[in-house]
Structure 1
């Protein structure tokens, strides 16, 4: 009996059908496993304390990332700064310091471009960030650096009395990052050496400065205190003018008078010493003379006569 379920034509079409299915499968596999690169900025992003940071990241070649997972993180993938998955943000996955502080900008996500905005930057936000893209069959990431800088308050100058023969001037400022430098200058721009300098880091990691200088010379009565941020190459400066009446000054007449008075005092002391020494020598000489006279007097006294009524037994 002949099997009429398969005709010769259908038998010949089976290899063609299998080839077509294999080709389609291979094409779909290639689409799923397409590779890409993640591109971030090639230099650190610098942001001032209190401002917002914008961290850019994009895919190359351009392709939609709407169905991908986009993860921003710090040291490891689990240290999530922001997570986008299944077409929505997952705020509950963020580590504590970044909760309610981030926003993923998705305007260009159809072309593979996303940027992360971090609000109210602090020194603790400084460091390395990772931008991670993951499709069902491929993943890639890039790293970028965030630098934080704090331009502190304008220095406050105050006079804190007299010290070491001059006027003690104090300079204070707060809110700097990283550690600043403090420069004292006179009117001509020459640097003055501080007599005290204290730069301390507070709990928020910002630095406060407390320095002092002593002004002894009238040529330094106009002085300035500058606090410099070495990362920004920017400084804040305060100046002060000290009136002549407050400065310790010595005129030539005063100097001559001082020298004359010192000489008079020295001569007076010398004369007193000489007079005392001469008087003491005279007293010693008179005492010796008295001793000699008394000795001679005792030597010339007559011997006592024997008394007859006294008998010696």
Structure 2
């Protein structure tokens, strides 16, 4: 009777011989996506499968299926695609990528993913002498949303202002149509389409005044710079992103004010006389303290400063009756 050690050794030798026989006969294994594949509604997704070790799959039957083997998403057989056997919901929506098929690498592109597409998928290779398959999960999420400025944007006349919009979650917007509009969708402030700016469709009052900042466009971040803001620019603005399968927009308010420096003259007109009065008080106090020097010289100084104070007070009175008008260069013009 054989010992346990001898039996174990025999089993190991048998398994090794079987493995060598399997490799010698050209056996291979199928590898699919390692993890669940995540996609958004409207996107295209690619399922990639390969043979290990590398094996030419041109003469094999390659099947991509959904949930069960008989539910055909795409079938490649006898060197060609068999579109007639596809499930109706996948017809005209799949493309088999065969560039690496001689090395056993085949990928399936599924176009314009929908919520019902979510579920379990698999790929199956059959060489008539051997067959293997691999499976994975497709998870489909809702589409992106557009986020614009959260609050009203405030700007002064003559300043540049930037409107920033983004997609959440991050989504490449390079191939999308991005539109900034005023009040209504058709009132175009700036349009980005087919990868370039379409300046010819802008409203006349915005031509040569806008610049689209696209440094973050691959992450869905786009900003519009509006140059030299005018009072007539105030109002509602919006940005729209359109991927052809999905469209979203966001709106906000632009508030335009006059430059604050135009009101500073009131402050100066009140402060200057106060300073003059303070200086005069110091001089008077000094003269009284030095009574021995309270002479004609001191009186003359007092008269000079009294005249100066009177002139300052007169300016305050007349300033209240002035009419403020703005020149073409932004100056404040005072007129009685």
**TM score, norm. by length of structure 2:** 0.43
Q: Determine which structure has more spread, i.e. the larger CA radius of gyration.
A: 1
**TM-score, normalization by structure 1:** 0.46
